Amino acid sequence: MVVPDMDEQTIRPGRRAPLDRERVLRAAMAVADGGGLADLTIRSLAASLGVKPMSVYHHVAGKDEILDGIVDLVFAEIDLPEPGREWRGEMVRRARSARAVLVRHPWAVALLESRTSPGPATLRHHDATIGTLRAGGFPVPLTAHAFALLDSFIYGFVIQEAAQPLRAPEETTAATEAIMAGFAAGEYPHLVEMATEHILRPGYAFGDEFEYGLTAVLDALAAALAGSR
Amino acid sequence: MVVPDMDEQTIRPGRRAPLDRERVLRAAMAVADGGGLADLTIRSLAASLGVKPMSVYHHVAGKDEILDGIVDLVFAEIDLPEPGREWRGEMVRRARSARAVLVRHPWAVALLESRTSPGPATLRHHDATIGTLRAGGFPVPLTAHAFALLDSFIYGFVIQEAAQPLRAPEETTAATEAIMAGFAAGEYPHLVEMATEHILRPGYAFGDEFEYGLTAVLDALAAALAGSR
DNA sequence: CAGGGCAACCGTACTTAGTACGGCCGGAGC
DNA sequence: GCTCCGGCCGTACTAAGTACGGTTGCCCTG
């Protein structure tokens, strides 16, 4: 029975709204958006909530649950396709939205791979996507193909976008220069050609490849759908 | 000046081959293969080399360099396409090889996103791929499209394969059952249809979607190539 | 209005990582 | 033999996740 020593701010701070799982996850997302996944620690999260580390554990079971949770929050941001509306347009809208969301939360892609327990928003998203394809006339097996192909393209594209060593003009310099140095030796001739004649030209943006790929994929699916009738 | 206290095994162990960067990276890969990225720590790595933690630092600058290094080792395992040979066959070979390698080293996909300084094997791989497309008659811009599309598909597919919550028969159970429980409520009707009528049927393997998607992508590129002539 | 119960929050401390810093040691050359 | 050096390691500091056991204010209940 220690003497309480009741000191400052035990009662002081003017009634902060109590935490809950929702607020914890939103704060976690904000921290990750601000400084990347590496900056998201229980301690930094607690600090951003104006609370001590262990308090967080009253609302989530552990860091893994936080990671699962914010992945689901990310999926919740992606536009849902609507079954019944023209499938191709819905898939384009969904794909663009997904890319935009994943670019906005670049840490999410890394988590996609490691999380195997989808949350409700994720399931709802998948359900709507599958439903839209089915309503658009896709037989079940072709729907599975389409779903796998579209998501592969979307996720893979975002990964590459996030890892791009050769970016647009400015920021590129640092890494690019270093790489280009090794190029001088004459190894990687095709890479050099591609870089100098295309990628490093003003006006080129890797992101533009998204629409090209998306169109190609959707064309392939449309053809498959037509052939399945 | 502490009394040396020279104890056991200071001189004992019969001349172990000295470490070098190569051996360190190979050991790191082996550790990651065995227990995942989380198991790869400087300490576990040192232990697997029969050495103390700080010794590792004489051969690599830090953990980041190790991560960059093993990603490059992974790329080195992927079959190189050969410029001059028929492009489509080479792309199929490359894609299958890449998928096999990434499935063999599942941790690599997570690293793809975070590493932005490609190593020599990675550059060589990209160079060969671009070279094969160019030699196959692809104009520079179309080569960029093809490269982005193919790699997006490959990486994205592997991500999904790694994260599959709904897998084949056995292991599925745990996660699947839990999810299916929530399904009973009648939410996610399309997901239920897809699962029960297709994915959970014997004979279905998500991995099979790879060939479908690859064919679709290559068909689209072949058509684009034909159209560019 | 006193007392009890509970949910929210926190103090402390243990464990595991990465890694800075400064040795020690045994073989190569003088 | 002596010196130098490269490879290796002992020690220790910092950061992070989290177990455990309080403490406290608020809301009932009587």
Q: In the numeric block, which tokens belong to residue B185?
A: 């409520």
Measure in Å the smallest separation between the Cα of B15 and chain A Cα atoms: 37
Q: In the numeric block, which tokens belong to residue A39?
A: 């900056």
pLDDT digit string (tens) for B74-110?
999 999 999 999 999 999 999 999 999 999 999 999 8
Backbone angles phi, psi at B4, to 5 degrees: -50, -40
Nearest to B69 by CA among B134, B117, B35, B102: B117
**Which pLDDT does position B228 carry in this prediction?**
86
Query: B168 pLDDT exceeds 50?
Result: no
pLDDT digit string (tens) for B3-55?
333 333 333 334 566 778 999 999 999 999 999 999 999 999 999 999 999 99
- Report the first-to-last Cα separation within chain B, whole angstroms: 80
- Report the first-to-last Cα separation within chain A, whole angstroms: 80
Query: A169 pLDDT exceeds 50?
Result: no
Q: Is the CB of A36 under 7 A from strand D?
A: no
Task: Give me the residue from A112, A188, A194 closest to B163, CB to CB.
Answer: A112
User: Which comes out higher in pLDDT, residue B113 or B213?
Assistant: B213
DSSP A49: T
Q: In the numeric block, which tokens belong to residue A162?
A: 């996030």
For residues B102 and B221, give the distance between their C-alpha atoms in angstroms, rounded to a whole number.
Answer: 24
Mean pLDDT rounded to a whole number for chain B: 87
Are B152 and A127 a contacting pair at CB < 8 A?
Answer: no
**Which pLDDT does position A179 carry in this prediction?**
66
The dihedral formed by the CA atoms of A14, A19, A23 and A28, expressed in degrees to the nearest 10: 100
Strand pairing partners for B85?
B83
User: Which comes out higher in pLDDT, residue B175 or B85?
Assistant: B85
Q: Is the CB of A17 under 7 A from strand D?
A: no
**Which chain A residues are Cβ-neighbours of B116 within 8 angstroms?**
163-165, 175
**Which chain A residues are Cβ-neighbours of B148 within 8 angstroms?**
157, 160, 206, 209, 212-213
Are B148 and A126 a contacting pair at CB < 8 A?
Answer: no
**Which pLDDT does position A4 carry in this prediction?**
35
- The CA–CA distances, whole Å, from B23 to A204, B37, B38, B56 equal 40, 18, 20, 10
User: Which comes out higher in pLDDT, residue A179 or B222?
Assistant: B222
Task: Give me the residue from A113, A148, A153 closest to B152, CB to CB.
Answer: A153
User: Which comes out higher in pLDDT, residue A74 or B11?
Assistant: A74
**Which pLDDT does position B181 carry in this prediction?**
66
CA atoms within 13 A on the CB side of B210: 23
**Which pLDDT does position A174 carry in this prediction?**
53
Going by pLDDT thresholds of 50, 70 and 90, the confidence category of residue A163 is confident
Backbone angles phi, psi at A104, to 5 degrees: -70, -30
pLDDT above 70 covers what percent of chain A? 83
Contact call for residues B97 and B79 (beta carbons, < 8 A): yes
**Lowest-pLDDT range, A12-26, A51-65, A140-154, B16-30?**
A12-26
Going by pLDDT thresholds of 50, 70 and 90, the confidence category of residue A182 is low
**Which pLDDT does position A8 carry in this prediction?**
32
Going by pLDDT thresholds of 50, 70 and 90, the confidence category of residue B229 is confident
Q: Where are the alpha helices (DSSP H) in chain A?
A: 21-35, 42-48, 53-56, 63-77, 87-104, 107-114, 120-135, 140-163, 173-184, 189-194, 209-227
Considering A5-19, B82-96, B99-113, B163-177, the range whose residues carry the highest mean pLDDT is B82-96
For residues B45 and B33, give the distance between their C-alpha atoms in angstroms, rounded to a whole number.
Answer: 12
Q: Record the pTM.
A: 0.89
| DSSP output for chain B | -------TTSS-S--PPPP-HHHHHHHHHHHHHHH-GGG--HHHHHHHTTS-HHHHTTTSSSHHHHHHHHHHHHHHHSPPP-BTB-HHHHHHHHHHHHHHHHHHSTHHHHHHHH--S--HHHHHHHHHHHHHHHHTT--HHHHHHHHHHHHHHHHHHHHHHHH-SS-SSTTTHHHHHHHHHHHHTT--HHHHHHIIIIITSTT--GGGHHHHHHHHHHHHHHHHHHHT-
**Which pLDDT does position A166 carry in this prediction?**
54
Question: What average pLDDT score do residues B168-185 get?
Answer: 59
**What is the distance in angstroms measured between the alpha-carbon CA of A223 and the sugar C1' of D10?**
68
Residue B54, nucleotide of least CA–C1' distance:
D9
Residue A19, nucleotide of least CA–C1' distance:
C8
For residues A153 and A157, give the distance between their C-alpha atoms in angstroms, rounded to a whole number.
Answer: 6
DSSP A17: P
Query: A116 pLDDT exceeds 90?
Result: no
Measure in Å the smallest separation between the Cα of A90 and chain B Cα atoms: 16
Are A216 and B178 a contacting pair at CB < 8 A?
Answer: no
Query: A101 pLDDT exceeds 90?
Result: yes
Are A149 and B149 a contacting pair at CB < 8 A?
Answer: no
Q: In the numeric block, which tokens belong to residue A65?
A: 């649950």
Question: What average pLDDT score do residues A38-57 get?
Answer: 95
Query: B221 pLDDT exceeds 90?
Result: yes
A–B interface: beta-carbon pairs under 8 A: 197
Q: In the numeric block, which tokens belong to residue B68?
A: 């960059």
Question: What average pLDDT score do residues B195-222 get?
Answer: 95
